[in-house]
Amino acid sequence: MNPFTTLRRHLTPAQINFYFSIVCFFSPPVLGSLVSIAFNAGGVWSAMLLAAKRRRFNIDRPMLALTLAIYAYCAAMFVASIVNGTLAADLRLFLPLITLLFFPVSYSTWSITEKITLVRIAILASAAACFGALALAIIQYHWLGTRAEGGAGNAIVFATVTCLAVMLCLAGALSGIEKRWKLLVLAAMAGALAIVYSASRMIWVAVPIAGIVVLLVNRRRFTSASVARFAVIGVLVALVIAAIGSRVILDRTDFLVSDWDALNANGDHSTALGLRVAMWEMGFSAFREMPIFGHGISASRALMKQGFQDQFGLDQGFSHFHNGFLTALVEAGLLGGLALASIFVIAAWNAARTLRASADPVERFGATMVLVAVITYLTGGMTGILIGHDILDATLMVFLITGTYLASGRTVAPTGKSAPAMAQGASPRP
């Protein structure tokens, strides 16, 4: 018998989703771009299954609202290029948008997985990712003498996706869904220490904010005294982590203070802070020039290159303005900025509705996933990139898809040839 035929018979759709989900939750901090490769390959495969009618679209209202917001953002980017007459030249730059366009396709395929199974995969794979992230961080910081970048190859990206893994471990421990809470707490501590080694200051801010939200979401399970006790324990754990990573924290604080002094006293824009301030000034100026449709997706690098030379006498160039919304405003104007904001507003609104209406731990866990993704991305995106990086884009889609499905979606069975055989006399699901 053909071994591929045998493998196909043994690998059911549910099993394929099982292994695919493990890769998507484990790989961002440890294996980096593998999450992008896996997610996009899964999107292509899902589209083929839908076209062959071996899957069916699972259209829920929260999912549909998010889809419209995501597609509006992509459309705004296309319109900006058309208005600026650069559509042909910008085609290659539209390729990263494919990851976003896979949202409804991947949602339909992911929702064949039983919710409780998906939750446990997300929790345990994230715990493994936290331990792996710390191991890589220690090697990179103590042995190689660099900021921890994990498998992402970028310290900020590494810190962002590790923060998400940490929050899933905390949510899993506090929700009671996974009984091995001590393991999850240790994993969360490991991931938090890895974030310290990344020296990514804005994610340092995101961690306590997201952690407080996770605690508040799960406060119903505990008495007021228990919540206070958890808060005290959290502060003590944070102090321990800060003590271990004190050298990194002090160094990054000193850099920030010196950069601030250089900018205010001498107008020095060559530092990390100075470069960001310069980019923000140029970005707002560029937005005022083309406020409705923007300059097009390819304009950012050229605008900054010219602006640095003309306004600051610096030979610098970046692909984005180190603020996610400002980058969208420059490239696609108000249409793009508002569409991008709507993605996060709708996602947070969907999650809040679930938390208000549902006491189901699985649904609340899904809503928590969405909220921590929104908090982490928005916090990091204020001084960095929000959308436009392969790992960040794929990871955001993973969290929005699975979180929305768990919070308010319905589980559907595969159809066609991939459908599981029904017992004789059984009726199909409505």
| Confidence at residue 250, expressed as pLDDT on a 0 to 100 scale | 87
Q: Are 283 and 277 in contact (CB under 8 A)?
A: no
pLDDT given at position 420: 43
Note the pLDDT tens digit of each residue in 84-143. 988 888 888 898 999 999 999 999 889 889 999 999 999 999 999 999 999 999 999 999
| pLDDT range class, residue 9, cuts 50, 70, 90 | low
pLDDT score at 234 = 76
What pLDDT shows up at residue 154? 92
Distance CA 371, CA 393 (A): 16
Q: Is 176 helix (H, G, I), strand (E, B) or coil?
A: coil
Q: How high is the mean pLDDT of the chain?
A: 88
- Which token pair is 238? 């944070």
Using pLDDT thresholds of 50, 70 and 90, give the confidence band for residue 270.
confident
- The DSSP annotation for 90-106 comes to HGGGGTTHHHHHTHHHH
CA-atom Rg of the chain in angstroms: 23
> Region 239-248: what's the mean pLDDT?
84
> pLDDT class for 421, splitting at 50, 70, 90?
very low
Q: Which long-range contacts (CB under 8 A, 24 or more apart) does 314-322 make?
A: 314/269, 314/270, 314/275, 314/278, 316/275, 318/275, 318/279, 319/388, 320/385, 320/388, 321/279, 321/280, 321/282, 321/283, 322/275, 322/276, 322/279, 322/280, 322/383, 322/384, 322/385
How far apart are alpha carbons 127 and 129 in whole angstroms?
Answer: 5
Query: Given this model, what pLDDT does residue 139 score?
Result: 95
- With a cut of 60, say whether residue 317 has pLDDT above it: yes
- % residues pLDDT > 90 (the chain): 56
Who's near 28: CB < 8 A, 6+ residues apart?
35, 129, 151, 152, 161, 162, 164, 165, 391, 394, 395
| pLDDT score recorded for residue 228 | 72
Q: Output the pLDDT for position 16.
A: 87
Cα gap 103→71, rounded to integer Å: 9
- Mean pLDDT is lowest, of 95-104, 161-170, 219-228, 303-312, for 219-228
Q: What is the pTM of this model?
A: 0.91
Q: What per-residue confidence (pLDDT) applies to 100?
A: 96
- Compute the average pLDDT of residues 6-28: 82
Percent of the chain at pLDDT exceeding 70: 93
Would you list the DSSP string of 240-261? HHHHHTHHHHHHHHHHHHHHHH
Residue predicted with more confidence, 314 or 383: 383
* Closest listed residue to residue 211, CA positions, set 241, 182, 171, 246: 171
- Residue bearing the bigger pLDDT, 6 or 336: 336
